[in-house]
Amino acid sequence: MKMNVLPIIAFALSINLVLGQELCPSGFRYWSYTGYCYLYVRDLYNFRDADTNCGNLAAGGYLVSTHSLAEEGFVQGLVETGDDYWIGANDVNSNSDFVWTDRSPMDWTNWDCDEPNNSGDEDCVESNFGLDKRWNDAHCDNRKQSVCKAPNNLMVTHKVKTEIAEIKKNDDN
């Protein structure tokens, strides 16, 4: 007898939301302008470990991607230091072809003057750099604080339900 646990998982996720689960994962702050959740991480990590940490803290979490000056301002408002911090932009795979770790489009940038300059193989991006608090390319092995971005819990639940429906559809065929 084949038991399909997918409907049970979908039901449990729905009940969790109905019973008052917060919109964002624990510690994250919701911003209605984007519908995403954000978290300033004080612990120091290199770029790769910072991005992994974001995924460990929340389903679908990555180092933050910013797509407007307003979103950049919101993120900088979360940061509790004047120090620079990791964001998700990098050109690790192709020099000068910057991408976000969350695979969203690189449709807005906030580079400081004369950046990115790739001075000594700098492939990862920090924000809050210099007097103007803008972006700089930096060495990925540097240990910095970071900001994570994650979908809100309703987005995650919708995605899981959509994936479950697709799996059920394929099981029925």
E strands of 13-122, at which residues?
A: 29-31, 36-45, 62-63, 85-90, 99-100
Rounded to the nearest integer, the mean pLDDT of the chain is 84
DSSP states along 102-171? T--------BPTT----TTS--EEEEEETTTTEEEEE-TTS-EEEEEEEE-HHHHHHHHHHHHHHHHHHH
- For residues 48 and 63, give the distance between their C-alpha atoms in angstroms, rounded to a whole number: 9
Domain borders along the chain are: 26-165
Strand, coil or helix: what is 65?
coil
Q: Which residue has the tokens 């991607």?
A: 65
Domain 26-165 has CATH 3.30.429.10: no
* Residues contacting 106, CB < 8 A, separation 6+: 89, 98, 99, 100
Cβ distance 126 to 19 under 8 Å? no
Strand, coil or helix: what is 173?
coil
The token pair at 130 is 């210099």
| 87-141 pLDDT tens trace | 999 999 988 899 999 999 999 999 998 889 888 889 999 999 888 899 999 999 9
pLDDT at 12: 44
Q: Is residue 23 very low, low, confident or very high in pLDDT (cuts 50, 70, 90)?
A: confident
